[in-house]
Amino acid sequence: MNGKKVKVSCFNCGQTNNYPLEAEDKKVICGRCHSPLPRPGDVLEVNPDQAFSLISRSSLPVLIDFYSHTCPPCQMMAPFLERLARRRAGELMVIKIEVDRYPEMAAQFGIQSVPTFAIFHRNSERGRISGAMPETDLALWVAKLA
């Protein structure tokens, strides 16, 4: 793993950067805006501005989990998303939007139930699916679209 880098998009400006995996606990910053970069493989809880930045500017596909803390199916899906994000580190950004905290964003995307998953790439929605599902089904759905 020495010297290996994976791609990660800045959730501030959307710039895709090469993230050195050996950085581990060190702060890695965006080459464009100098904001701290998220660690590859992390599921990121972002605000609407950060989400729109990633959707519109990231060269990596972005998987959004629209969820609620009070939703048992959402809680069931959380570990699946974490494992998916780790497996697809450098290939996919995984973000979460809490619909109770950001209802305007949920309305803007027409979210009517949670969990709802949507994949965007280069400012275009590639697909969406709602409800809890087996981990393999989620992974296959993502692989088909991202």
CA 55/CA 53 separation, integer angstroms: 6
CATH class of 40-145: alpha beta
List the domain boundaries for the chain. 40-145
CA 77/CA 89 separation, integer angstroms: 18
Q: pTM surpassing 0.85?
A: yes
How many Cα neighbours within 13 Å face the side chain of 49?
A: 2
- Is 74 marked active-site? yes
Per-residue pLDDT of the chain (146 residues), as tens digits, is 457 899 999 988 889 999 998 887 789 999 999 999 999 999 999 999 999 999 999 999 999 999 999 999 999 999 999 999 999 999 999 999 999 999 999 999 999 999 999 999 999 999 999 999 999 999 999 999 98
CA 117/CA 128 separation, integer angstroms: 5
- Is 13 marked active-site? no
Direct distance between the N- and C-terminal alpha carbons of the chain, in angstroms, rounded to an integer:
25
Task: Please provide the size of the chain in residues.
Answer: 146
- The active-site residue, picked from 10, 13, 30, 74, is 74
